[in-house]
Chain A
């Protein structure tokens, strides 16, 4: 089954404790990106990757890092999480400008 998977689905952590949210797709898509969804602000792009080893900042990259060492994986790293990073996070993939497929989401709470 073609899909985008994210782990963990739910996470509660404390300020400053490094964490990684994994994202993996099995559709051989070149393009992957991360979004966060916040009430009243909608979905905003954090980072994107056009292919292996090619990443760039989205609209709200501060406090996040990404890497794209393999085509299927695009992890999101929070080196020192803060409460304002509490949000619902989505990973997405696509073939270039084609249909976007979204993962199931990761609910992150930083206390």
Chain B
């Protein structure tokens, strides 16, 4: 099945710093999402980005589908950015359904 690997596993930033999170996947995909899981456990949709580049405020993401990776950029980090960032791709089942496969996540802590 498809493997999703994220790096780095842990990241500590000083408030105001920039960072890049990486997601590698082992097979071609037509669906890729980035989520932020906040300290309360909620999964927040950041980007739906099977290919190309998108920006939303201080966050942006780029997926290069042909090279099987995606990057999430966080600029001018804030303490509220702390949490776990997941990359997730869709895998089809033989029965016709599908499931979302999550990477292990990058745990980010932003210090004030």
Q: Tell me whether A56 is interfacial, beta carbon within 8 Å.
A: yes
- Interface bin, chain A: 20 to 34
Q: Collect the chain A residues with CB atoms within 8 Å of residue B48's CB.
A: 98-99
Main SS class of interface, A:
strand
Given A88-B41, A102-B43, A105-B41, answer yes or no on A97-B98 (Cβ-Cβ < 8 Å): yes
Given A33-B99, A42-B102, A50-B97, answer yes or no on A97-B42 (Cβ-Cβ < 8 Å): no
In Å, the complex CA distance between A92 and B86 comes to 15
Interface size on B, residues (CB 8 A): 21
A-B contact list, 24 entries, CB within 8 Å: A31-B97, A42-B102, A42-B104, A43-B100, A43-B102, A48-B98, A50-B96, A50-B97, A56-B93, A56-B95, A56-B97, A58-B99, A97-B30, A97-B31, A97-B90, A97-B98, A99-B33, A99-B45, A100-B45, A101-B45, A102-B43, A102-B45, A104-B42, A107-B41
A interface residues with partner B (beta carbon < 8 Å): 31, 33, 35, 42-43, 45, 48, 50, 56, 58-59, 88, 90, 92, 97-102, 104-105, 107
